[in-house]
Amino acid sequence: MTTPRTAQHPILPMFTERWSPRAFSDKTVTEAEILTLLEAARWAPSASNLQPWRFIYSLKGTPEFDQMVELLVPFNQGWAKGAAALIFTAAVTTFDGERPIPTHAFDAGAAWMSLALQAHSMGLITHGMGGVEFDKATTALSLPDNLKLIMAIAVGYHGDPATLPEGLRAREAPSDRQPLEVMAFKGTFSGEIKAP
Ligand SMILES: Cc1cc2nc3c(=O)[nH]c(=O)nc-3n(C[C@H](O)[C@H](O)[C@H](O)COP(=O)(O)O)c2cc1C
């Protein structure tokens, strides 16, 4: 894959080379590969080292995978059914029911990024999805009250964009980012908050 992405400052190539395709090939992933991705996530930093992330995964070709596809919003089902594995990511909001973990989603986000970069290093693609039927998925995955579903992740090998539903083919390319000046400030915030 060639990438038109250009960094403004020197960084490791993986940051601009990783992106989120939607076209998956038929190539399967092994459980060992998924466990390697989750192992990378396990080593993410978190507030007080609470590690408030939990993952529920399935491999394509199993009843669990077919069920997980049904837990995605229809738009995501359309392409994510081609993935080799699905991983639902949840965050622990409290361990004792009294003290909330304010950083639960942030910590789970760090774990997701570790997973995504590990996958990239193995030639795998990942695609995060906030488009989940949250109530349905929370019940189907047997999540307790203090485990908040955050997002799902499609994993596999990059395939031919021609296999995608029409309308998604043209979007199958790495996206750009806003300039660093929009998001980083010395001393005090002096920018504008507006959607990219
Ligand atoms: C938390 C999260 C939720 C996302 N939800 C969806 C989604 O529901 N459907 C989708 O097609 N892409 C989804 N994406 C993919 C983003 O649109 C994508 O990461 C973003 O456009 C940046 O592109 P890149 O990952 O290729 O760099 C999601 C990504 C993240 C991190």
Domain assignments of the chain as residue spans, ordered by start: 18-160
Instruction: Give the start-end residues of each E strand in 5-146.
Output: 53-59, 85-92, 125-129
pLDDT of 2 strictly over 70: no
Over residues 170-178, mean pLDDT: 95
Tell how far the Cα of 86 is from the centroid of ligand 1, in angstroms: 15
Over residues 37-45, mean pLDDT: 99
Q: What confidence score (pLDDT) does residue 1 get?
A: 45
Tell how far the Cα of 98 is from the centroid of ligand 1, in angstroms: 33
Over residues 108-112, mean pLDDT: 98
Answer with the residue of higher pLDDT: 85 or 166. 85
13 lines ligand 1 (CB under 6 A): no
Q: Which atom of ligand 1 is nearest to the CA of 151?
A: 1
Over residues 74-84, mean pLDDT: 97
Q: What confidence score (pLDDT) does residue 68 get?
A: 98
Tell how far the Cα of 127 is from the centroid of ligand 1, in angstroms: 6
Answer with the residue of higher pLDDT: 165 or 52. 52
Q: Which atom of ligand 1 is nearest to the CA of 22?
A: 11
Q: Which amino acid is at 160?
A: D
Residues 6+ apart with CB under 8 A from 196: 178, 182
d(CA 157, CA 110): 22
Residues of the chain above pLDDT 70, percent: 98
Q: How confident is the model at residue 3 (pLDDT cuts 50, 70, 90)?
A: low
8 A C-beta contact, residue 67 and residue 105: no
d(CA 55, CA 36): 13
Residue 141 to residues 2, 70, 146, Cα–Cα distance (Å): 38, 12, 13
102 lines ligand 1 (CB under 6 A): no
Q: Which atom of ligand 1 is nearest to the CA of 72?
A: 8
Q: How confident is the model at residue 54 (pLDDT cuts 50, 70, 90)?
A: very high
pLDDT of 165 strictly over 80: yes
Over residues 110-131, mean pLDDT: 98
pLDDT of 36 strictly over 90: yes
Over residues 27-48, mean pLDDT: 98
CATH superfamily, region 18-160 = NADH Oxidase (3.40.109.10)
Q: What confidence score (pLDDT) does residue 150 get?
A: 98
